[in-house]
Amino acid sequence: MYEQPTGGAAFPVPKTMDLHILDHRLRVTSISKNGLVSYTHPLIKLIFLRNRTRCKFFSLTETPENYTVVLDEEGFKELQPSEHLQVESSVWLPLNVVSNGSVSSSSQAVGVTKIAKSVIAPLAQQHVSVFMLSTYQTDFILVREKDLSVVISTLEEEFNIYKEVEGESVPVHCQDVSNGLQKNGKEALQPTVHPVLIPQNQFCVMSLDPDTLPSIATTLIDVLFYSNSPKEDSQLSANQDLDCIQFFSFSLIDGYISLVMDTEAQRRFPADLLFTSSSGELWRMVRIGGQPLGFDECGIVAQISQPLAEGDISAYYISTFSFDHALVPEEDIVSVTDMLHHQRKEAAAS
Amino acid sequence: MSGSKPDILWSPHHPDLYVICDSELGLYRIGPVGGTETKPGTLSLSKETAATLLAINSDTPYMKCVAWYPKHEPECLLAVGQANGRVVLTSLGQNHNSTCKELVGKEFVPKHARQCNTLAWNPVDSNLLAAGLDKHRADFSVLIWDISSKFAPETSVAAEKIRLSFVDLDSSSVVTKPLYELGQNDACLSLCWLLRDPKLLLAGMHRNLAIFDLRNTSQKMFVNTKAIQGVTVDPHFHDRVASFFEGQVAIWDLRKFEKPVLTLTEQPKPLIKVAWCPTRTGLLATLTRDSNIIRLYDMQHTPTPIGDETEPTIIERSVQPCESQIGSFAWHPSSQNRMVVVSASNRVMTDFTVFERVSLAWSSTTSLTWACGRHLYDCVEDSTGGTEGAAETDIATKMRERAQSRYGHDTVQVWRNHLLAGGTDPQLKSLWFDLFYMKQCAEDQELKLQGNKQSVVYSGIKNIIKTSSGTTESRRCWSGSDRQADVPRFYSEERCLALRLCGWISRGPDINVETFLRSLEHEREWERAAAIALFNLDIRRAIQILNKGAMAENGDLNLNVVAMALSGYTDEKSSLWREMCSSLRLQLKNPYLCVMFAFLTSEAGAYDGVLYESSVAVRDRVAFACMFLGDAQLPRYIDKLTNDMKEAGNLEGILLTGLTKDGVDLMESYVDRTADVQTASFCMLKGSPGEVLKDPRVQCWIENYRNLLDAWRFWHKRAEFDILRGKMDPSSKPLAQVFVSCNFCGKSISYSCSAIPHQGRGFSQYGVSGSPTKSKVTSCPGCRKPLPRCALCLMNMGTPVSGCSGTGKSDEKVDLTRENKLAQFKNWFTWCHNCRHGGHAGHMLSWFRDHTECPVSACTCKCMQLDTTGNLVPADSS
């Protein structure tokens, strides 16, 4: 049974990566800031009372525009439709890339950078729209269910693809899915180059022992639901200028908690409960999009991730209902800024 | 292990120390109740044991897992895995060891913080500590730390990068560089080092079990499964591993790692702990959430689950160590089957020993063996013991001895069988004499009556008397006296036959007991002889016998006194002699002397004093009755006596019942009383074949006796018994079931004999003497192709005898000497049913005396081991 870390020895070209199609059917929704009050009840249930819900995939991201909630169908049942709830009509499936074995790649970079070439770019070429969700533990690539056959045929060359069904990983091949391979037609237009915004706050990506979640409950509720309340500290509110962006992300996926918050928010949590990398790295944000991006445009992630990959710069990437957000290491922000400016100039020139 | 879920760890080296960990670590010492340390803080764990809290350590918050350092020194060193992935070394109680001081407080910090799920010390290289962590996007989930390593130089560099206040690393005791990093981009939920090679680490990863080899970390062996929690190696069988998923335990064999060798019945609640018993092979204990029982799976009987298709059998049972719900349990490392259990809610501990199942086995002789745990008890009855050697009086022992002395096999001098049985049992003596006389009469009758009365002989005196007719009455004189005796005596042919069966008279028309008297004198049965002489109205002879008895060596002089009393006999009804004799006779100890005077003092026809004297042998009483009871009284008396005998199961009654259904009834109550199926079997085989042998009770006794012989490994005895049985009851002979068939034409090689099995079997057909067949037996009689060759001598199989010996008649063999018989067997065909190689039985026997493998050179079949009985030696030598 000793197997090369490459996996299937029968293949002439070893595939070093596995792609797992996870057993979740996801909906992407948005709750308006005004409407939050009518959704606090289900959200608290989904965050804190894990054994009262069968939701296995839950992500809540607060942005200045709205709250983006990504959750599986079990969790979606909890959300009552209202004028404050916008729902993207498709069902999305999360994909997860697992490097098979312990080949130490030359690149030290993590996050989307690692999969930029192998997943993001090919999917962009095939006009598959992706919705990215990076967490402390891993990166989820959400694709529409209807695009699955295209995704599989596109990525099959590079990956061993498995579909997870009730906890078992089942290998998937192209012929297993519908034969009518529908290409997302439309001849490749020159993709729009979106404006970017680089706020000043520093972010950290952290995790938490789910057992200790109750002990930070009040802080978490405060941060999530009362961020707009007038603060006692006038100093802080003075800081809420355009240079900083309000951004907080909480996800609880398959029992793992991931938190993305700025250092401001991080200070409000007890120091010893949240954990992160021992180096304690900090991240800067690049927000993509001048106006809401929608869900149909392709190549947005590729646009950012490809240059980052070329520069071997780690990045997290969190898509929300309106905009996309990339997190890059603080020390690399200058080169990233330069690179993006260069890209924009080129686009303008062409 | 947060607050609500306690766990227990036994010290690897101190059998009395253990640690309970929930939110803190508590070290306990377990000892006998009321020992030297009867402090108020002592907690009772069981009726005999109590625990004392020695130390508490609450230095490490957010504990997720704990592992005890496996070496002797430092003794209470523990590794604690925390919720943030750090592993901290800590200790309990005082420890003056310098290495310990150096190690305690040391921290091992992963690059990216996440929960530490499991810890495992390498059992050999105890510097290696493996930690299993949750998943992180870019980091490894299995980190192997070297606890002896100094702090990593990188920490100083890293410290510059630290800007988050909570990561306050005390760089002197923090190690951030693991020795090995395994399992990238994966989660590790359980770990254990393999005992077969300490460089191998088994890890329960997210959705697969992986074996990492530290010598080549780029390779791993893995199998996809959901059962990835709680991996644990069987300490007694290093290739056997248990793991679980929710409510199901999977057992793996590392040599055949593709799938579990077995899965245990799924429990409705998720499992929380699975542990092999360290003191007993193949015992696995499992605990589910919210349960107050521990389930035990005994895989004792399947030490090697690789055995081809055999589904391993598992004995499952549950134990309930305490009333409350169990939080965790731990096997004691050395004390057999012992565990400590801690309750889920309030840290109540219970010391508990799982009681072994007791298995018990009787031997075929009188000993008894039972096993409990590691103890094997052998119970042999003490033959020299005070209770008169209960083993020797046990019927099984007796039957075994009798079987060895060929009891029941003397078919000519049938009465001798009682001597073969030891000659001490009067009932057996009576039985075998009865059977002897029956045989004598039957043979005699055959000559005289051409067999038409043969069956009467075996039908018993009861039936013989019923057919009686033409009884004549006579009054005879006392011989040697001219006085007319007023004693009527009865005579008929049937009564005469009855007397013969009683052994009083031998053939001939005269009732002459003289031969019998002489034989009794010879056996020094003076009183009996005198009584029988008296009953034959020969008072002088009686006196003479008594005198002889008194004179004989060691004779009883009192017999002279009796003779004197006898000589004073008078038939005066009112004489003093009569009066005194009738009252004083009761004080005579010998029943025969007693009945003599009873007879002399009785009125004619009123002989109750004789007839119901139970100490007098039945045959004598019956003979007496046949002489002195009339046609009306006699059947009544016989019937009554028969019923008494049947009820008591007294074998003397066989004289009355014969070998009839009545006799079987009698024998049934005898067997019920004594369990002596041996005597019952032989007795029933002595009679004429017929209804009796078909009686299911008789068949049952015979079968049981054969089983007994088999159990004793008295196979030769059983064969002898079967031969005897076959003679008496030809229907019991089994038909030939095995034939040797030709490889080419498929016809039986013994075709010529088996084709006409029930017609006259001439000698020539068996090829014993006929030379024409002799030439043909090395080839198939059907197709003339040669028979297979013996694997050893390479000669074609087949000799005149071997070809048909399977169906040979036992009669022929009787005439053969022992050597001939052996030679005959040596030439038989024999072959292994597995590899189909074989040859002459004699050659095979001698080959397998020294070898286990097949004699054919390319064949590796272990023929002899496949033969379950082949290695057993018969216990009877003949």
**CA B211 to CA B194: how far, in whole Å?**
9
Task: Specify the CATH number for the domain of residue A333.
Answer: 3.30.2130.10
Tell me how many domains chain A contains: 1
Instruction: Quickly list H helices, B713-834.
Output: 715-728, 751-754, 771-774, 810-815, 818-826
Query: How many Å apart are CA B559 and CA B551, to the nearest integer?
Result: 9
| pLDDT tens digits for range B666-721 | 999 999 998 899 999 999 888 765 678 888 999 999 999 999 998 888 888 998 99
Where residue A312 falls (left for φ over 0; alpha for ψ -120 to 50; beta otherwise) is left
Hey, how many other C-beta atoms are within 10 angstroms of the C-beta on B334?
11
Inspect the interface and report whether the beta carbons of B184 and A99 lie closer than 8 Å: yes
Query: Using beta carbons and an 8 Å cutoff, which residues of A are at the interface with B?
Result: 1-5, 98-99, 101-103, 110-111, 114, 134-139, 167-169, 204, 207, 209, 211-212, 256, 266, 271-272, 274-282
Cross-chain CB nearest to A137 (options B64, B136, B181): B136
Residue B463 burial (CB count, 10 A): 18
Contact residues, chain B, for A212 at CB < 8 Å: 62, 83
* Confidence (pLDDT) at A6: 39
Lowest mean pLDDT, pick from A143-147, A324-328, B496-500: B496-500
Residue A233 resides in a domain: no
Q: Domain map of chain B by residue range?
A: 236-342, 469-630, 825-866
Question: Who among A4, A111, A271 is closest to B166 (CB)?
Answer: A271
Structure tokens at A156: 């099959």
Q: Note whether B184 contacts A266, CB cutoff 8 Å.
A: no
- pLDDT at position B811: 42
Q: Which residue of B has its CA nearest to A17?
A: B185
Checking ipTM against 0.90, whether it exceeds it is no
Please check whether residue A236 lies inside any domain of the structure. Answer: no
Q: Nearest CA to B255 among B315, B182, B200?
A: B200
A234: in domain = no
Token code pair at residue B698: 């008789």
Q: What percent of chain A has pLDDT over 70?
A: 81
Beta strands B77-82 and B128-133, pairing class = unpaired
Distance CA B141, CA A264 (A): 30
Tell me which residue of B273, B304, B169, B282 sits closest to B235, measured CA to CA.
B282
- A276 contacts B113? CB cut-off 8 A: yes
Alpha-carbon gap, residue B458 to B462, rounded angstroms = 11
Instruction: Report whether pLDDT(A110) > 80.
Output: no
Structure tokens, B632:
């009306």
Least CB–CB distance from B115: residue in A98, A102, A209: A209
Which parts of chain B sit beneath pLDDT 70? 1-4, 35-40, 94-98, 150-172, 300-312, 381-392, 445-455, 476-486, 507-511, 571-573, 688-690, 749-777, 798-824, 868-871, 877-878
What band does A104 get if pLDDT is binned at 50, 70 and 90? very low
- For residue A310, tell me if it sits in a domain: yes
Query: Which residues of A fall within a CB distance of 8 Å from B207?
Result: 167, 169
Task: Give the pLDDT of residue A190.
Answer: 58
A139 contacts B182? CB cut-off 8 A: no
- Whether A8 maps to a domain, the answer reads no
Cβ pair B222:A135 closer than 8 A: no
Contact A167 B226 (CB under 8 A): yes
Mutate to test the interface with B, among A3, A165, A209 (most CBs of B within 10 A): A209
pLDDT recorded at residue A114? 73
Nearest to B166 among A168, A272, A281 (CB): A272
CB pair distance less than 8 Å for A277 and B184: no
- C-alpha B774/C-alpha B785 separation (Å) is 15
Stated pTM of the model:
0.62
> d(Cα B653, Cα B25) in Å, to the nearest integer?
83
Helices marked H in A96-161: 112-115, 121-125, 148-155
In B, which residues are within 8 Å of A138 by CB distance? 135, 137, 185
pLDDT of residue B241: 93
Question: Contact B220/A101, CB-based, under 8 Å?
Answer: yes
Q: Where are the alpha helices (DSSP H) in chain A?
A: 40-48, 73-76, 112-115, 121-125, 148-155, 217-225, 234-239, 263-266, 300-310, 333-349
Give me chain A's average pLDDT, please. 80
Contacts of A207 in chain B (CB under 8 A): 113-114
Q: Do B137 and A138 touch (CB under 8 A)?
A: yes
Instruction: Please determine, for residue A136, whether its predicted confidence score (pLDDT) is greater than 90.
Output: no
Q: Is B440 helix (H, G, I), strand (E, B) or coil?
A: helix
What is the domain extent for residue A40?
A: 15-224+243-349
Subunit contact B207:A167, Cβ cutoff 8 A: yes
Would you state the structure tokens that stand for residue B36, as one six-digit string?
């030297």
Nearest residue, CB atoms, B112 vs list A5, A99, A277: A277
Please indicate whether, in this complex, the C-beta atoms of A168 and B162 are within 8 angstroms of each other: no
Contact residues on chain A for B218, CB-CB shorter than 8 A: 5, 101-103
Spell out the residues 6+ positions from residue B862 whose beta carbon is closer than 8 angstroms to its own.
B852, B853, B854
**Residue-level pLDDT at A184:** 53
List, for residues B149-171, the tens digit of each pLDDT value: 765 444 444 444 443 334 444 55
**Which of B83, B166, B222 is nearest residue A209 as measured by Cβ atoms?**
B83
Q: B111 and A136: CB-CB below 8 Å?
A: no
**Alpha helices, DSSP H, located in B488-590:** 493-502, 514-522, 526-535, 539-551, 558-567, 576-584
pLDDT at B757: 39
Subunit contact A3:B181, Cβ cutoff 8 A: no
d(CA B447, CA A90): 113
Q: Quick one: pLDDT at residue B154?
A: 47
